[in-house]
Structure 1
Amino acid sequence: MRGTFYGIGVGPGDPELLTVKAIKAIEAADVLIAPKTEKKEGSVALEIARPYLKDDIEIVYQVFPMVKDFAEDTGAWEANKAEILALLNAGKNVAFLTLGDPMFYSTYIYVFRLLEHEDVDIVTIPGIPAFAAIGSRVGRPIVEGNDILAIIPGTADKKHLEEVMAVASSAVVMKVYHNSAEIIDLLRRNNMTKEAVLVSRVGLDDERIIHDLEAHADEKLNYLSTILTRRS
């Protein structure tokens, strides 16, 4: 009998923010898939879930190329899919761990698409996204009343960023690690820096909170950095 495939959102960093359902799925798993990039050792998602792991759990690290190259080279993705299917066919329950929420800017989405047309039972368990944790951490309502919220990937085309910021009442800007100076300049020109806060690695031991974004515009930021802001 084939095992069940679980996609588990482990939240932004604090292990206590995992849902009860996520913890039960981790405890029921025979194998944990810990995604990582080619450039980094270890897995942040795995470290967040570690307090809930069984002693005999099997941990499988899988390397996933950057999503922007997905259509050009699916070889690594197909190899990971084959490995997951082999584990499921052996009757093992397999849990794929992902930061934040599985269906929100997540590598899991692409794994889900590879598996959804196979004869596999898939259970996706939501997790708390970083921006929700940041709002609670710094005491900042994300939206209220009739606010229009824009959730913006900092990696998007500059023209699209400008168009969205021009109409949003409040914004969540994610993936600001590689062009933070450009993002902060766009926020300034849209009257959105005064109310902005940037948080890196929320809920982790090296969490960092920045309120004066313009003073830190040229700094290199961690990959897990998010800005919450609203128009002044």
Structure 2
Amino acid sequence: MAEQTVKRGVFYGVGIGPGDPELLTLKAVRVLEACRVIAAPQTHSGETLALDIASRAVDLTGKKILPLYFSMARDRQQQRQAHLEAAQAVREELDRGEDVAMLNLGDVSIYATYSYLMEILRGEGYETVMIPGVPSFCAVAARLGVSLTEMNSPLHIVPAGGGPLEETLELPGTKVLMKSGRRIPQVLEALEAHGLTEKSALVRDCGLPTEEVCEDLRHPPEGTGYFATIIVKE
């Protein structure tokens, strides 16, 4: 009698929104409830922000929590090695027939680490599914009470720490500067040089207990941290 092959599990990327557990979608909740293995990004200091948020919306009792470690270094080789190691940890669960849900802050298609693992595992023939979530900049706009776009007005989304902002700030329409915290002095200097300070506002840690709103960037908050988003609306 031929040995029965175990069917591979499905690798889900689940967007859980920026911080408020009430912003998890019904579909995200359903997938997290159904999967027995939850892959959770974890910092080297042991923080599991995405898991903390999800656990306030979904009962994860009895689930296997699979911590994934990702390098924050700029070195591409170090990043790639971290992605390969994380993919291997997920692969082992999938090969056992377990569906794995990987938690992602915000939306799973916007600067999401899941995409790197998805490409690796999809390339090896594993089934992958993306569950969209509320993007952080949409939550920030709602917190500020502003619309991001109007008719025929473009929207530009850039990582503020990714390079020079001069060209971005000269573009027409609304600019979203994500992950601005570590470069706040440089970002504020660029905004001032382009006469955009009074047209800009910042929210850090949107939806989290540490949330802070600054609608007057002439007096920016101190210690904005990693999750700081600036909206520049002309």
Query: What TM-score do you get using the length of structure 2 for normalisation?
Result: 0.91
Alignment of 1:97-176 (within 5 A): 97-158=103-164, 161-176=165-180
Match of 2:41 in 1: 35
**CA–CA distance in 2 between the matches of 1:46 and 1:54?**
9
Is the CA contact 2:36–2:100 (under 8 Å) kept in the aligned structure 1?
A: yes
Match of 2:3 in 1: none
- CA deviations 1:48-107 (Å, max 9, x no partner) are 110313321110111111263233563332222111111011111101001001110111
Instruction: Return the letter of the residue paired with 1:222.
Output: G
Is the CA contact 2:11–2:128 (under 8 Å) kept in the aligned structure 1?
A: yes
Is the CA contact 2:204–2:213 (under 8 Å) kept in the aligned structure 1?
A: yes
RMSD across aligned positions (CA): 1.6
**CA–CA distance in 2 between the matches of 1:165 and 1:53?**
43
Is the CA contact 2:72–2:79 (under 8 Å) kept in the aligned structure 1?
A: no
**CA–CA distance in 1 between the matches of 2:87 and 2:96?**
14
1:46 aligns with 2:51: yes
Instruction: Return the letter of the residue paired with 1:42.
Output: E
Match of 2:97 in 1: 91
Aligned residues: 227
Instruction: Return the letter of the residue paired with 2:177.
Output: V
- CA deviations 1:158-180 (Å, max 9, x no partner) are 1xx10121123211001111110
Match of 1:68 in 2: 74
Match of 1:190 in 2: 194
**CA–CA distance in 2 between the matches of 1:149 and 1:189?**
21
Is the CA contact 2:84–2:117 (under 8 Å) kept in the aligned structure 1?
A: no
1:177 aligns with 2:181: yes
Deviation of 1:221 (Å):
1.3
Is the CA contact 1:2–1:91 (under 8 Å) kept in the aligned structure 2?
A: yes
* Structure 2 residue matching 1:214: 3-state secondary structure: coil
- CA deviations 1:99-132 (Å, max 9, x no partner) are 0011101111211121111121111101111110
**CA–CA distance in 1 between the matches of 2:68 and 2:13?**
14
Is the CA contact 2:201–2:215 (under 8 Å) kept in the aligned structure 1?
A: yes
Query: What TM-score do you get using the length of structure 1 for normalisation?
Result: 0.92
Unaligned ranges ≥5, structure 1: none
Unaligned ranges ≥5, structure 2: 1-6
Match of 1:220 in 2: 223
